[in-house]
Chains A and B, each alone.
Chain A
Amino acid sequence: DSGVTQTPKHLITATGQRVTLRCSPRSGDLSVYWYQQSLDQGLQFLIQYYNGEERAKGNILERFSAQQFPDLHSELNLSSLELGDSALYFCASSPRTSGSGMETQYFGPGTRLLVL
C-alpha cells in the first residue's frame, strides 16, 4: 500500500459526459501527479500540482482539467468524454517538487474509466 488513495475504483459513463476523479496523496506529500495509462499509449504524464499550484503540464487535453485543494487532495475533471478516453488514470504523490531529480513518486491504485 503506497498511502495514495484514489476514488472511485471504477467508473462507467457515456460519451459526452463529465466525470471527476479524486486523489488523496500520502500524508505530508505536497506534489500530486496525474497519469493516463492506456494499452496503446503506456503511461502518459498529464499534469503536476505542488502545494495547490500547477507546476508542470504534460499531454493533457483541453477537455481535461485538474486542481489541488488546500488539504492537498486533488481532482481530475474529464469533460466531453470520448471513447478514446477510456483508460486507467493514476495519481502519484511525492514529498516536494524535484530539486535534484531524486524525488520518488508513489502511485495510487488507479481509477479505471470506461466510456461507452
Chain B
Amino acid sequence: QQQVKQSPQSLIVQKGGISIINCAYENTAFDYFPWYQQFPGKGPALLIAIRPDVSEKKEGRFTISFNKSAKQFSLHIMDSQPGDSATYFCAASRGYGQNFVFGPGTRLSVLP
C-alpha cells in the first residue's frame, strides 16, 4: 500500500530526445506527487510536483502527467540534454504528519 513503483530502472536517450519515466502507486490517500533529481554525490533536489486535481503540469522542459484513475504518473523530459543525466525519483505523500514514499529511482543517461 505504501509502495511507489518506478520504471524503467535505467534509461539511455540521445540528446534532443524525449525521456519518459513512469511511476505507479496503490494508496489512493496520496495527495502530493513530487519528482526529485539527484546528481552523483549530491542530495535529491525537487524538480517538479503535482496534486491529483490536475492531469498535467509543465515547467520548462519538464512535464508531469497524472492519471488518477490508473494511479499512475509520469515525468517527461523534452529535448533531453547531457546535463539532465542524473537519477530521478518519483515520490508520494499524504496528509498531515505523513512521510514521503520514494520510488526506487531511474538512472538517466543522455548521450551527446
Contact = CB atoms under 8 A, between A and B. Distances in A.
To the question of whether A and B form a pair in one complex, the answer is yes
A58 B43 contact: no
Given A42-B105, A102-B51, A104-B34, A56 B99 contact: yes
A101 interface: yes
Contacts of B41: 109
Interface in A34-74: 42-43, 45, 48, 50, 55-56, 58
B94 A101 contact: yes
A102 B34 CA distance: 9
B62 interface: no
B95 interface: yes
B32 A45 contact: no
Interface in A82-116: 90, 92, 97-110
A101 B97 contact: no
A2 B101 CA distance: 20
Contacts of B104: 42
A110 B96 contact: no
A107 B102 CA distance: 14
A48 B46 contact: no
B10 to A, nearest CB: 13
A102 B46 CA distance: 12
10 contacts: A33-B100, A43-B105, A48-B97, A48-B99, A56-B99, A58-B99, A92-B43, A101-B94, A107-B44, A107-B45
Interface of A: 2, 4, 33, 42-43, 45, 48, 50, 55-56, 58, 90, 92, 97-110
